[in-house]
Amino acid sequence: MLTSSYLLLVSYFITGWANLKRVKANTGNFNTMVTVMIAARNEAERIHYTIEDLLAQDYPQHLTEIIIVDDHSTDRTSEIISSYADRGVKLLQLNEAEPLNSYKKKAIATAIGISTGELMVATDADCRMGPKWLSSIVGYYEAEQPVMISAPVTFFEEKSLFERMQTLEFAYLIGIGASFIGNKRASTCNGANLAYRKDIFYEVGGFSGIDDLASGDDELLLQKIAERFPGKIGFIKLREAVVYTHAKANLQEFLQQRRRWASKSIKYKDKKVVFLTICIWLFNISLLVNMGLGVYKSCFFYLFLIQFLLKYMFEFVFLLPITLFFKRQRLMSLLLLIQPFHILYFVYVGLMGNTKKYIWKGRMVK
């Protein structure tokens, strides 16, 4: 039963990705005022790369506003941002007397509050993007008129096998979010590449009701908007719209990140998605149980092998077109190697993501 449910779910994802139409990038006659906003904390090492990429965009400068909010950095982050003031980059600095659990949401809401743009475009302070990134997003927005746009994110510049494995697993997660949108049921996204109308943000009450969690400035906001505006959220299936970021260097950082992402699930508005997530978790539990019982009875081991093989086959069919989209199809050679680790980590994160606090940007949060 669990195996059949999982395979049906992956089939649903395969269909959803295929349903997403490729759009053509608009090359001119833009009329949308855009605010690019970033919440930054202790990003002195990389933030200048991000700012340079933003300033190199081919989108009209008179329609572009860049606001970066420094979230109590203890390094040179604010100094670096300030050095770009003469090129139009605006620096805001959080100055909260009382501790918050969601500094990032506070930073984003503050940026939106002073913005002049119609379309808010969010990314992260350690991300890279090509020169057509912003114009591709706005071109899609003006052509399709969605109220929110989820856009693709991938890892790059991997330095180890572990980081390449993360890139493939991350493609799986991005593909799931895109596939839900392709099936007209927006549920997940990534805040490193997300856009939405300013008026819609205020119409759904901003982060009100989801501001008790440190994370969730992306998925939980998307779900609030999807509930109010069903069918009006799009995914831009265009390589020019891809944002690039880095995988985690070690297992501890990786698990902290995934626990943070998993912590959002307790606030999901779409309970059907929560149910599906539980089904996936139980399917992975069943794999571990059958493998363990297989030590004592061979029939359980054979059942485990069948489950494992079917999981691999269906995920291969799902991931191949996604890796082709990112031009990272060579990563598919790692899929078989990833499978045992994916099962273990999914079970672990499902347990720990909703039961413990975690460290994020040097702070202990929940």
User: What residues are paired with 129 via a beta bridge?
Assistant: 243
CB atoms within 10 A of CB 97: 4
Q: 222 and 180, same structural domain?
A: yes
Cα separation, 170 vs 176, whole angstroms: 10
List Cβ neighbours of 149 (8 Å cut-off, separation of 6 or more): 137, 140, 141, 194, 195, 196, 233, 234, 235, 236
Q: 184 and 91, same structural domain?
A: yes
Q: 173 and 241, same structural domain?
A: yes
Based on the number of CB atoms within 10 Å of its own CB, is 210 exposed (0-12), middle (13-18) or buried (19 or more)? buried
Q: Which of 164, 170, 135, 169 is nearest to 152 (CA)?
A: 170
Question: What does the pLDDT profile of the chain (366 residues) look like in tens digits?
Answer: 789 989 999 999 999 999 998 877 666 789 999 999 999 999 999 999 999 999 999 999 999 999 999 988 999 999 999 999 999 999 999 887 665 667 888 899 999 999 999 999 999 999 999 999 999 999 999 999 999 999 999 999 999 999 999 999 999 999 999 999 999 999 999 999 999 999 999 999 998 888 777 677 889 999 999 999 999 999 999 999 999 999 999 988 888 888 777 766 666 767 777 777 888 889 999 999 999 999 899 999 999 999 999 999 999 999 999 999 999 999 999 999 999 998 988 888 777 766 556 555 555 555
Q: What's residue 100's pLDDT?
A: 63
Query: Is 260 domain-assigned?
Result: no
Cα separation, 310 vs 317, whole angstroms: 11
Eight-class DSSP state of 25: P
Please state whether beta strands 34-40 and 119-124 pair in parallel, antiparallel, or not at all (unpaired).
parallel
Q: 213 and 100, same structural domain?
A: yes
Query: Is 266 domain-assigned?
Result: no
CB 21 within 8 A of CB 53: no
Eight-class DSSP state of 28: S
Query: Is 7 domain-assigned?
Result: yes
Residue 274 tokens, joined: 């929560």
Query: Is 94 domain-assigned?
Result: yes
List Cβ neighbours of 338 (8 Å cut-off, separation of 6 or more): 165, 168, 169
Q: 225 and 81, same structural domain?
A: yes
Q: What's residue 345's pLDDT?
A: 85
Q: 285 and 240, same structural domain?
A: no
Domain termination site, one of 192, 217, 249: 249
Domain termination site, one of 190, 217, 249: 249
Element (H, E) at 225: helix 219-228
Cα separation, 37 vs 138, whole angstroms: 15
Query: Is 254 domain-assigned?
Result: no
Query: Is 101 domain-assigned?
Result: yes
CB atoms within 10 A of CB 137: 28
Q: 174 and 35, same structural domain?
A: yes
Query: Is 174 domain-assigned?
Result: yes
- How many domains, in total, are found in the chain? 2
Residue 344 tokens, joined: 């273990």
Q: 283 and 229, same structural domain?
A: no
Q: Which of 90, 85, 43, 88 is nearest to 69 (CA)?
A: 90
Q: What's residue 351's pLDDT?
A: 77
Q: 237 and 120, same structural domain?
A: yes
Q: 229 and 356, same structural domain?
A: no
CATH number at residue 90: 3.90.550.10
Task: Kindly report, residue by residue over 14-37, the tens digit of the pLDDT.
Answer: 999 999 988 776 667 899 999 999
Q: 281 and 198, same structural domain?
A: no
Q: 281 and 211, same structural domain?
A: no
What domain range is 347 assigned to? 2-12+271-365
Query: Is 258 domain-assigned?
Result: no
